[in-house]
Amino acid sequence: MTSKQTGSGIFMHAPEATSGLFRMSVTERLNLSRIAVLEKVSFDRQMRLLRASEAGINFARSDYKDVYAFFQEASKDYDSDLVNPYWAFTHDILKFILMKFITEHFRDARTTHVFDAGAGTGNWSRFVLSLGVSMHGIMFDMNANMLRVAKPKLVQVHNNVRIVEGNLEVLSDFPSQRSNLVLCMHNVIGLGRNTELILHNLCTYLEDDGLAFIMAMNKYHAFNFTRQFRDETEVLRVVHDGTVKFKTDMPEIFCYTPEEFEKILRDAGFEDVTILGFPVTVYPSIQDTKLLRMDTSILQLKDSKVRAGLLALEKKLCLYPELAYRGGSSLIAVCKKKIVAST
């Protein structure tokens, strides 16, 4: 096995083990210059061939009743993901990304107004609001049950927090005062039924020179996961419909390649968009993704010292946009809205 030093100063080795179409290794690191290019080309080629060979396939779409019913059930275990070693690891990476860009962007800001779009049970509002005493928050969600779960958590955060029930597709539901920091975490965009309208509303609501974090399901991950753990119909759903169902009893989630995600964000009005993905060094089995699972098949996450080293590596690699396609959890877009010059 050979190694070389990249421009970033990180030694990369060609890994040997694989997880579906993703190449993985228990002890070695990714070769940015070679493996990443080969993997992405392989993904694109296989999806292109499937699109060409299976034309004319249609898939039924869920409506908001299905989405609401799903979250009514999911909210019972929604806060249990931190007992799962894989999801806890992804959360640590995501916290790093949020903290890095928020502290850099708002270093000189007097007050930060946080709008958590699709706030769920409030975990990410609580984390972001804990980053500074000058933060004020609005938790916005259409699911009253989740907001009830969130309310007692926010008592622990000594900030000015409002809870608002509303629909992200209806701009008149948004508070009158705009925010300079917007969060739209995990599958909010993917489970929305009109993604383009939601993104347009979020961009409109964000103040000029504001910062937004918007997450979406990674299509490469959806394709790889369904090829390994679902049937052919679900693989074709990803390729032809641009949606994914990780299990039968859930609504489909819209998924995007990093390039597709960047395009719809720019079309919505965001000028400065960076797409990142995480984690890029480990990949879950279907058992590893179960919320209540307290063990993991991923060897690197079993040993605390090895996990710490892997997390340090992830904090470097997650900032490479060219590795976003490897995101085994989600894509996250860091979007800035520039100041509009007055005339």
- Structure confidence by residue, pLDDT tens digits, 38-89: 889 989 999 999 988 877 788 999 998 888 888 777 666 666 667 899 999 9
Q: Rounded CA gap, 227 and 21, in Å?
A: 9
324 domain-assigned: yes
Query: Residue 16: what pLDDT?
Result: 39
Distance of CA 245 to the CA centre of its chain: 16
Kindly state whether residue 36 falls inside one of the protein's structural domains. no
Within a domain: 138? yes
Which ranges of the chain have pLDDT less than 70?
1-18, 20-35, 74-81, 133, 158-159, 339-343
Place of tokens 């706030």: 119
- The answer to whether residues 262 and 275 touch, using CB atoms and an 8 Å cutoff, is yes
- Give the whole-angstrom CA distance, residue 6 versus residue 256: 29
Pair of tokens at residue 196: 């383009």
Please, where are the H alpha helices in the chain? Answer: 35-53, 64-74, 85-105, 123-129, 144-154, 188-191, 195-205, 219-229, 232-236, 258-268, 304-317
pLDDT in tens, 144-186: 888 888 888 887 776 688 999 999 999 999 999 999 999 999 9
pLDDT computed for residue 31 by the predictor: 59
How many domains in the chain? 1
Which residues fall within 8 angstroms of residue 112, CB to CB, at 6 or more apart? 102, 106, 132, 134, 135, 136, 180, 181
Answer whether residue 300 is part of any domain: yes
CATH number of the CATH domain containing 190: 3.40.50.150
Distance of alpha carbon 188 from alpha carbon 116, whole angstroms: 11
Cα–Cα distance measured from residue 268 to residue 284, given in angstroms and rounded to the nearest whole number: 32
Domain residues for 211? 64-336
Domain assignment present for residue 1? The answer is: no
pLDDT of residue 2: 32
Residue 196 covered by a domain: yes
**Does residue 86 fall inside a structural domain?**
yes
Q: What is the reported pLDDT for 318?
A: 95
Q: Is residue 314 part of a domain?
A: yes
How far is residue 34's CA from residue 58's CA, in Å, rounded to a whole number?
Answer: 36
What's residue 160's pLDDT?
83
Q: DSSP class of residue 79?
A: G
